A and B are shown apart, each in its own frame.
Chain A
Amino acid sequence: MIVYSLTFYLFSSIAVLSALMVISAKNPVHSVLFLILSFVNASGLFVLLGAEFLAMILVVVYVGAVAVLFLFVVMMLDINYIKLREGFLQYLPFGALLGIVLVIELGILYLTDISSNINSSEEALEPRIYEIENTKMIGEILYTKYFYLFQICGIILLVAMIGSITLTLRDKGGVKRQNIDNQNSVNALNAIDKKKVKLGEGI
């Protein structure tokens, strides 16, 4: 149990500290790297909760795919760090408002959870993880009870994908692309064009 608590505090403190570093790091690439560290530690917390499938999905999707593309974009941008800092005070009230709303919401959630189910925190510390694989549990709920919501999520993602493709796909023309079928269908008959050239005229 003591090892469990120690690992919990290790993961959570690194997650919180790296989240702080995300917003305070001067270099945006460092920010993204700290964001990745925060994600990985969050997935460690999921493992401690017994939600191993969610932990792995978090790493595969957020760290392995989303953050790579994010890092990709941030690395390519030429950002003026000093200019970026200038708007800080201007955005401060709005940001603080958002933060306060979030904290109040979390507080309400915490209080209602405590009053409704006293045993929940104890159960969260000792989940019965090895009785059934939680991959199976998620599948059994997701594809039966929440089937339509799941499908709607899929459609929303599809629409977002089509939208972003139509926004970015521009055929400028003048781009030389390889057409493999054309290359493969070249033979002696269509590769060479024989012409009779009249004397003194050319083609």
Chain B
Amino acid sequence: MKFSFLYDIIIPGLIITAQILAVVLPVLISVAFLVYAERKVLALIQLRKGPNIVGPFGILQSFADALKLITKENIIPSGSNKVVFILAPIITMVLSLAGWAVIPFAPGWVVSDINVGIMYLFAVSSLGVYGIIMAGWASNSQYPFLGALRSAAQMVSYEVSIGFVIITVLLCVGSLNLSKIVMAQQTVWFAIPLLPMFIIFFISALAETNRLPFDLPEDESTLVAGFFTEYSSASFVLFFLGEYASMILMSSMTVILFLGGWLPPFDIFPFNAIPGVIWFTIKIIFILFLFIWVRGTFPRYRYDQLMRLGWKVFLPFSLFWVVATSGFLVYFDMLPK
């Protein structure tokens, strides 16, 4: 076959770019609304009004904030390591968007349907720590450095139990492909037979995304703002967007692993008439609401308590559950072929 520049590079390139934009733009816009939703829900929990000035019900507040931050001066501290300092927020942002490449929104609605989808997501979320650790080190200041150290230890610890939770799900599916993981939940969502794993995964996701009650890396009462103390304007916006985008990514991972992805709760008329992408969105919004609810309810963990929970409670329990699940599947001959 003759190689033609137009058909082999330009057209596939344009198609891929269009697909990427079709995923990334909704994610970025939903980040803006997630920030608004968080402020509004927290306000309701605390009997306040929340943002209510910009636009109807204050719905455009996040856009106004982003505009304000971007137009401000970007201050780079003179003692900082400039290249790494600028690179850190970019890495955070890129990684939180890269994971969306493998997320299936509905049957066939996926940019890249790779065989090792869940491993890819796990890899991308484990790389997320670099943005934080580089920011903390490059700032050349005490508070960000402490925040970076805390975050490195915390994310590595909770990744271990997330890994075991993923293994438990994979034992029941028999494939690492995300679409196959969803299709394996047609009879029952994994949140029901694997309920303890679902809870562990959710709590570990809170720790992995540095959300309350595990937000020690940015602990404002002891570390000013943690790893992004020295950041301002556009680089701050990138951190902010990255953090919330990875929150949405983690909740979509929870939905795919445990809540049946795009599948309706019951496969009967009024439910299966609604398109899969809407079910997927509804489930993600539910998990995100839990994230915000937890933030409004629980006090922050102390550092040693955080480590104790990760290593002495979650790790042995999830390890036990991996052994129990595989034993159960082998004994009743239910291993996926």
Q: Which residues of A contact B (CB under 8 A)?
A: 1-3, 27, 29-30, 33, 36, 52-53, 55-57, 59-60, 63-65, 68-69, 71-72, 75-76, 133-135, 177-178
Contacts and interface: CB of A to CB of B under 8 A. Distances in A.
Contact of A69 (B114, B115, B156, B175): B156
A178 B302 CA distance: 11
Chain B residues touching A, majority SS: helix
Interface stretch (B122-130, B190-198, B244-252, B291-299): B122-130
B126 A60 contact: yes
B43 interface: no
Contact of B126 (A29, A64, A72, A133): A64
B138 to A, nearest CB: 9
A53 B156 contact: no
B333 interface: no
A56 B133 contact: no
Contact of A57 (B3, B81, B119, B305): B119
B215 interface: no
Given A3-B9, A29-B137, A59-B127, A64 B115 contact: no
Nearest to A178: B304
Nearest to B138: A29
A36 B130 CA distance: 10
A64 B3 contact: no
A68 B125 CA distance: 13
A64 B127 contact: yes
Interface string B113-143: 0111001101100110110011001000000
Majority SS at the chain A contact face: helix
11 contacts: A52-B115, A56-B116, A56-B122, A63-B126, A64-B123, A68-B129, A72-B133, A72-B152, A75-B145, A76-B149, A178-B304
Contacts, number: 74
Contacts of B8: 2-3
Given A2-B3, A59-B123, A33 B84 contact: yes
A93 to B, nearest CB: 34
B159 interface: yes
B263 interface: no
B93 interface: no
A1 B4 CA distance: 11
A68 B134 contact: no
A184 B159 CA distance: 29
A33 B133 CA distance: 11
Interface string B130-169: 1001100100000001001100110110010001000000
Lowest 9 A-B CB distances belong to which pairs?
Answer: A64-B126, A56-B119, A59-B123, A133-B115, A52-B116, A60-B123, A56-B116, A56-B123, A75-B137
Given A33-B84, A53-B116, A56-B116, A65 B159 contact: yes
